[in-house]
C-alpha cells in the first residue's frame, strides 16, 4: 500500500506564490483582517532593508491545506497574504496613476495588465474585471474584490467595518510609502521594485498539508508566537463548518461563540478549553486540543452541546482568577481563598473547582471545605515543598472527571481523590524547616506575607490580620543589607544562606521598620520588637542572634505550620 504524502515543505518567494495559477482562500470563518500601522511599518522597513542590501528576507512560515496543489486554504499566514496583496495593489495603482496622467501611457498600461495578471489574477473577457488569486473571509472578501482590486475609493470610509478600514488604510499607507521611495518615479522602476525586489527577496517556508488536523499539528509545532489565536481560529472554523448548511444554526453558533470569547478572551481560550477537557474527559496537552475535539464533535448536535457546556463553564473559569467576581461576594472565606490561590500562582486545581462550582452550591459547607483543602494542598505541595506539578495535574484531573461523572458526589469522595498530593506532616515539617523566601521576588514576598500572618494568628490566639491589606512590613532580623555591625556575627556565606530563611523574617510596623529597626544591631532591634503589635515579633527575646537562633525559630514555625495547614480526611 502506497504511503500518503501528508506534508510538503519548500522555500518560496513572493513571486513563486503569486506567479502561478494557484488559488488561495482564507477559510470562510477565519478572523477578519487585523494588522495595524505598526505591522505595516515593520513590513515596509523589512522591505527597504532587503532592497538596500539585496539580501533575501525571511517572512516566516505559511501553512496551507490542499488536496490538489491548485486550490489552497490559508491555515496560517492570512494577515501576511492579505497585506502583501494590498502592497502589490498599491504599487500597481501608482503605475495606473501614471497612465491617467498620460506618462508613457501605452507602456504603463501594459505594465498594469502584466502585473495584475501576474499577481492578482486573469482578466475576465466579458466583464473585463480581474478574477482574484486570493479570496478573503466572509466579512472581508467583498470589499477586497469590489474596492481594492478595482482601486475604487470607498464612498464613505466612516461606514466601513473595522477590518475594512484597516484594509483601506493599509492600501493608502503603502501608496504613500511607495511614492516617497522613489525620487524620480516611473512605471519601469515601480515594476522592477515589485517584480525583481519585493517579489524575489521576500521569502517564506511554505508548508502544505492535506487535512485540518495535520495543519493544526504543524502549526503548533513550528510557531512560537500567535499560537493561541490561530489554534482558536482553526477550531472555530471546524465547528462553524459542521453547522454551515443551515444559516439559522450558523448564526446561532456564531453568536454563542462570540459570547464565550467575550467572557474568556481570545488569547486565553486555548487554556480554558484545555481545562474544560481536563475536567470532563481526560488529561491532555495543548497540542492535542483540536484532535480531541474533532474525535468526538462530528455532528451539528455535538457542536451545540459543546458550546453550551463551554459557555456554562466560561463564567466559572473566569471567576476562579478574579477574587472580585460576584460569585465570591456572599462568602468572605471563599473570597479570601481565591485571593490566596492567586497569590500562590498555582493553577492545576482549576479544572476541579470549575466542576465543583456546578456540583456543589458555592456557598455550601462542602464547597468551602473543598476550597480550603485546595489552599492547604497548594501551600504544602507548591509553595513549601515545590514539588513537580505534572503529578498534581493528573490527580486534579482524575478528581474533576470523577466529580463530573458522579450523579451524587460527596465532598469526602473528592477529598479522598486528592490524598496522594497532600504532603504528609513529616515531609512538610522538613521542607518548612529549610524554607527561604526571596523578598526581592514579588510572588515569594506575597507568599511570605501569607505565611507570616497565619503564623501570627496562631501565636496571638486567632486574631487574624488580612495579609493582603494590613500595613505590616517584612522585617529581616539579620538585615538584608548585611551592614558592618553584623559581619562579626555572620560570615558572608552564612549571611547569603540565612538572610531569607523564614526563621530570620518577621512582621513589623512600617514606621518601626524603616525608621527605627532598619540596619541596627540586634540589641537595639529587640527593644523595638517589644513595642510591636505583632505577637511573632514581640516574643523575639533571644540573648543574641546567630544561626542557631534562626534555626530554632524556624523549627518552631514548622511545628505550628502542621496544625495551621492541615486537612482532616
Q: pLDDT of 470-515, one tens digit each?
A: 999 999 999 999 999 999 999 999 999 999 999 999 999 988 876 6
Q: Are residues 68 and 171 in the same domain?
A: yes
pLDDT in tens, 339-372: 999 999 999 999 999 999 999 999 899 999 999 9
Last residue of a domain, one of 379, 402, 423: 423
Mean of the pLDDT values across residues 285-291?
A: 82
- What whole-number percentage of the chain has pLDDT above 90? 72
At residue 232, does pLDDT exceed 90? no
- Of 94 and 131, the structure prediction assigns the larger pLDDT to 94
Mean of the pLDDT values across residues 372-399?
A: 96
Confidence at residue 221, expressed as pLDDT on a 0 to 100 scale: 58
Confidence at residue 216, expressed as pLDDT on a 0 to 100 scale: 58
Question: Which of 342, 267, 250 lies closest to 303, judged by CA?
Answer: 250
- Of 235 and 258, the structure prediction assigns the larger pLDDT to 258
Task: Report the distance separating Cα 486 and Cα 460, nearest Å.
Answer: 30
The rounded mean pLDDT for the chain is 90
Residue indicated by cell numbers 503529578: 391
Task: Report the distance separating Cα 258 and Cα 32, nearest Å.
Answer: 14
Residue indicated by cell numbers 501608496: 175
- What whole-number percentage of the chain has pLDDT above 70? 93
- Of 287 and 393, the structure prediction assigns the larger pLDDT to 393
Q: Are residues 497 and 528 in the same domain?
A: yes
Of 209-223, 277-291, 549-563, highest mean pLDDT: 549-563
pLDDT in tens, 113-129: 999 999 988 776 666 66
Residues ≥6 apart with Cβ < 8 Å to 19:
118, 119, 199
Last residue of a domain, one of 284, 299, 319: 319
Q: Which of 12-21, 84-93, 158-167, 269-278 has the lowest mean pLDDT?
A: 12-21
Q: Are residues 23 and 144 in the same domain?
A: yes
Helical residues (DSSP H) of 435-506, grouped into ranges: 442-459, 492-498
Question: Which of 105, 116, 89, 84 lies closest to 14, judged by CA?
Answer: 84
Q: Are residues 59 and 142 in the same domain?
A: yes
pLDDT in tens, 514-555: 666 778 899 999 999 999 999 999 999 999 999 999 999 999
Tell whether 216 is covered by a domain: no
pLDDT in tens, 165-195: 999 999 999 999 999 998 889 999 999 999 9
Task: Report the distance separating Cα 46 and Cα 58, nearest Å.
Answer: 9
pLDDT in tens, 257-277: 999 999 999 889 999 999 999
Confidence at residue 128, expressed as pLDDT on a 0 to 100 scale: 60
Confidence at residue 104, expressed as pLDDT on a 0 to 100 scale: 94
Confidence band for 2, pLDDT divided at 50, 70 and 90:
very low
Confidence band for 224, pLDDT divided at 50, 70 and 90:
very low
Q: Are residues 525 and 487 in the same domain?
A: yes
Confidence at residue 212, expressed as pLDDT on a 0 to 100 scale: 66
Tell whether 220 is covered by a domain: no
Tell whether 54 is covered by a domain: yes
Tell whether 252 is covered by a domain: yes
User: Concatenated DSSP letters for 216-267?
Assistant: HHHHHHH-SSSHHHHHHHHHHHHHHHHHTT-HHHHHHHHHHHHHHHHHH-TT
Confidence at residue 54, expressed as pLDDT on a 0 to 100 scale: 87
| Segments forming the whole domain that contains residue 362 | 328-423
Q: Are residues 144 and 171 in the same domain?
A: yes
- Angle in degrees, CA 58, 61, 63, rounded to 5: 155
Task: Report the distance separating Cα 421 and Cα 485, nearest Å.
Answer: 45
Confidence at residue 227, expressed as pLDDT on a 0 to 100 scale: 41
Tell whether 214 is covered by a domain: no
Tell whether 219 is covered by a domain: no
Mean of the pLDDT values across residues 310-335?
A: 94
> CA dist 9 to 6, 18, 61, 167, 180, Å?
10, 17, 10, 30, 37
Task: Report the distance separating Cα 272 and Cα 274, nearest Å.
Answer: 5
Helical residues (DSSP H) of 182-226, grouped into ranges: 187-192, 199-201, 212-222
Q: Are residues 197 and 262 in the same domain?
A: no
Confidence band for 9, pLDDT divided at 50, 70 and 90:
confident
Q: Are residues 363 and 465 in the same domain?
A: no
Confidence band for 205, pLDDT divided at 50, 70 and 90:
confident
Confidence at residue 3, expressed as pLDDT on a 0 to 100 scale: 41
Tell whether 289 is covered by a domain: yes
Q: Are residues 498 and 470 in the same domain?
A: yes
Q: Are residues 80 and 11 in the same domain?
A: yes
Confidence at residue 245, expressed as pLDDT on a 0 to 100 scale: 86
Last residue of a domain, one of 162, 180, 209: 209
Q: Are residues 523 and 399 in the same domain?
A: no
At residue 1, does pLDDT exceed 60? no
User: What nine digits make up the cell of 148?
Assistant: 481594492
pLDDT in tens, 22-75: 899 998 878 899 999 999 999 999 999 889 888 888 888 888 888 777 899 998
Confidence at residue 220, expressed as pLDDT on a 0 to 100 scale: 55
Number of domains in the chain: 4
Q: Are residues 195 and 243 in the same domain?
A: no
Reduce the DSSP state of residue 333 to 3 states and report it. Answer: helix
Tell whether 559 is covered by a domain: yes
Amino acid at each position: 500500500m502506497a504511503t500518503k504524502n501528508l506534508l510538503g515543505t519548500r522555500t518560496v518567494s513572493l513571486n513563486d506564490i503569486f506567479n502561478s495559477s494557484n488559488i488561495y482562500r482564507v477559510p470562510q470563518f477565519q478572523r477578519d483582517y487585523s494588522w495595524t500601522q505598526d505591522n505595516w511599518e515593520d513590513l515596509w522597513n523589512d522591505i527597504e532593508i532587503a532592497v538596500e542590501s539585496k539580501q533575501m528576507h525571511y517572512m516566516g512560515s505559511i501553512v496551507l491545506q490542499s488536496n490538489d496543489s491548485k486550490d489552497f486554504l490559508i491555515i496560517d499566514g492570512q494577515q501576511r497574504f492579505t497585506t502583501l496583496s494590498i502592497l502589490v495593489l498599491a504599487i500597481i495603482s501608482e503605475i495606473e496613476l501614471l497612465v491617467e496622467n498620460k506618462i508613457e501611457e501605452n507602456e504603463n498600461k501594459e505594465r498594469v495588465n502584466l502585473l495584475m495578471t501576474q499577481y492578482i489574477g486573469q482578466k475576465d473577457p466579458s466583464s473585463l474585471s480581474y478574477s482574484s488569486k486570493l479570496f478573503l473571509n466572509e466579512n472581508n472578501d467583498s470589499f477586497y474584490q469590489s474596492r481594492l482590486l478595482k482601486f475604487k475609493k470607498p464612498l464613505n470610509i466612516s461606514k466601513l467595518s473595522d477590518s475594512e478600514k484597516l484594509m483601506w488604510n493599509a492600501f493608502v499607507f503603502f501608496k504613500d510609502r511607495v511614492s516617497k521611495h522613489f525620487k524620480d518615479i516611473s512605471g519601469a522602476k515601480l515594476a522592477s521594485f515589485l517584480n525583481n525586489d519585493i517579489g524575489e527577496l521576500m521569502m517564506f517556508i511554505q508548508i502544505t498539508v492535506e487535512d485540518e488536523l495535520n495543519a493544526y499539528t504543524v502549526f503548533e509545532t513550528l510557531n512560537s508566537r500567535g499560537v493561541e489565536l490561530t489554534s482558536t481560529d482553526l477550531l472555530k472554523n471546524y465547528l462553524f463548518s459542521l453547522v454551515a448548511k443551515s444559516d439559522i444554526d450558523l448564526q446561532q453558533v456564531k453568536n454563542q461563540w462570540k459570547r464565550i470569547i467575550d467572557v474568556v478572551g481570545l488569547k486565553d481560550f486555548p487554556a480554558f478549553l484545555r481545562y474544560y477537557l481536563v475536567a470532563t474527559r481526560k488529561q491532555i496537552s495543548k497540542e492535542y486540543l483540536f484532535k480531541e475535539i474533532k474525535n468526538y464533535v462530528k455532528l451539528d448536535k455535538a457542536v451545540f452541546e459543546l458550546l453550551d457546556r463551554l459557555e456554562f463553564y466560561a463564567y466559572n473559569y473566569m471567576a476562579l482568577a478574579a477574587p472580585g467576581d460576584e460569585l465570591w461576594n456572599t462568602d468572605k472565606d471563599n473570597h479570601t481563598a481565591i485571593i490566596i490561590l492567586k497569590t500562590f500562582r498555582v493553577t492545576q486545581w482549576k479544572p476541579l473547582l470549575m466542576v465543583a462550582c456546578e456540583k456543589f452550591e458555592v456557598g455550601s459547607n462542602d464547597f468551602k471545605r473543598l476550597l480550603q483543602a485546595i489552599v492547604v494542598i497548594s501551600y504544602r505541595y507548591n509553595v513549601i515543598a515545590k514539588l513537580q506539578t505534572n503529578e498534581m495535574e493528573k490527580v486534579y484531573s482524575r478528581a474533576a472527571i470523577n466529580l463530573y461523572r458522579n450523579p451524587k458526589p460527596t465532598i469526602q469522595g473528592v477529598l479522598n481523590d486528592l490524598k496522594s498530593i497532600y504532603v504528609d506532616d513529616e515531609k512538610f515539617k522538613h521542607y518548612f524547616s529549610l524554607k527561604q523566601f526571596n523578598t526581592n521576588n514579588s510572588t515569594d514576598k506575597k507568599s511570605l506575607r501569607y505565611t507570616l500572618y497565619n503564623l501570627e494568628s496562631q501565636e496571638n490566639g486567632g486574631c487574624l490580620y488580612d495579609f493582603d491589606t494590613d500595613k505590616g512590613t517584612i522585617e529581616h532580623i539579620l538585615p538584608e543589607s548585611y551592614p558592618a555591625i553584623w559581619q562579626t556575627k555572620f560570615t558572608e556565606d552564612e549571611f547569603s544562606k540565612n538572610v531569607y530563611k523564614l526563621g530570620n523574617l518577621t512582621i513589623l510596623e512600617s514606621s518601626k521598620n524603616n525608621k527605627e529597626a532598619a540596619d541596627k544591631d540586634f540589641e537595639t532591634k529587640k527593644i523595638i520588637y517589644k513595642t510591636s503589635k505583632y505577637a511573632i515579633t514581640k516574643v523575639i527575646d533571644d540573648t543574641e542572634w546567630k544561626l542557631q537562633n534562626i534555626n530554632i525559630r524556624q523549627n518552631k514555625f514548622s511545628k505550628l505550620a502542621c496544625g495551621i495547614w492541615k486537612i482532616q480526611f
